[in-house]
A = this chain, B = another copy of it.
Amino acid sequence: MTGSTGDTRSRIQQVALELFTEQGYEKTSLREIAERLGVTKAALYYHFKSKDDIVDSFVADRINRLDQLIDWAARQPTDAASRRATLRRYAEEFFGNEGQSVMRFFEQNQTVVKQLSSGQMMRDRLLRVADVLAGPDPTPGDQLRATMAIFAVHGSLFALRQPEISLEQRQQLALELAFELLDRVGAPEPGRPTG
């Protein structure tokens, strides 16, 4: 059954995502991916324009889902409850199904993310979520606060080093901390005009 055709493209995506996440994008050669699938490098080039293009292919869907989230969030009122709801949705995207594997790839490949077009887009979406969370006309303190709330979700994967902590627990802990940060967005800060 190894020679079954048609799914080669998705098998490439699957193996590539796995290797890119485990050992890094740059450290993973196309030869390695090809060998794992029992084909040659050139075969990969039939299915994808370039190495970058493999990444783009499994990132596009994530971008779309984040765009939907941003649109939805931007239409909510700018209160604490809405910020919580937005972050909760973000966490669900992050921890859910295939979402998590792609997000982990980005977590593991921050450098590459800066160079790749899909990485730029992903980074842009992250900052936009932060912008929505920070609300209109935010103080720098609010900006930092909103961004760190998002990063609490990401950080729950590597900051909690006991492997026995489940993904559900990580998500729960991340949200608790993120809510604590978000609930004080717009609150008086040192150096902020009180009026």
A111 / chain B contacts, CB cutoff of 8 Å: 24-26, 108-112
Q: A25-B111, A110-B110, A114-B24 are in contact. Are A147 and B141 (CB under 8 A)?
A: no
Q: A110-B110, A114-B24 are in contact. Are A159 and B147 (CB under 8 A)?
A: yes
Please state if A155 and B147 are interface contacts (CB–CB under 8 Å).
Answer: yes
Considering only residues 174-192 of chain A, those with a C-beta below 8 Å from chain B are 174, 176-177, 180-181, 184, 189-190
CB of A97 within 8 Å of the partner chain: no
A-B residue pairs, 5 tightest by C-beta: A110-B110, A147-B159, A26-B26, A111-B111, A24-B111
A sample of 22 inter-chain contacts (CB < 8 A) reads A23-B115, A24-B112, A24-B115, A26-B112, A27-B115, A108-B111, A108-B114, A127-B161, A130-B159, A140-B160, A140-B165, A140-B169, A140-B173, A144-B155, A144-B156, A144-B160, A144-B177, A148-B177, A176-B189, A177-B181, A180-B184, A181-B181
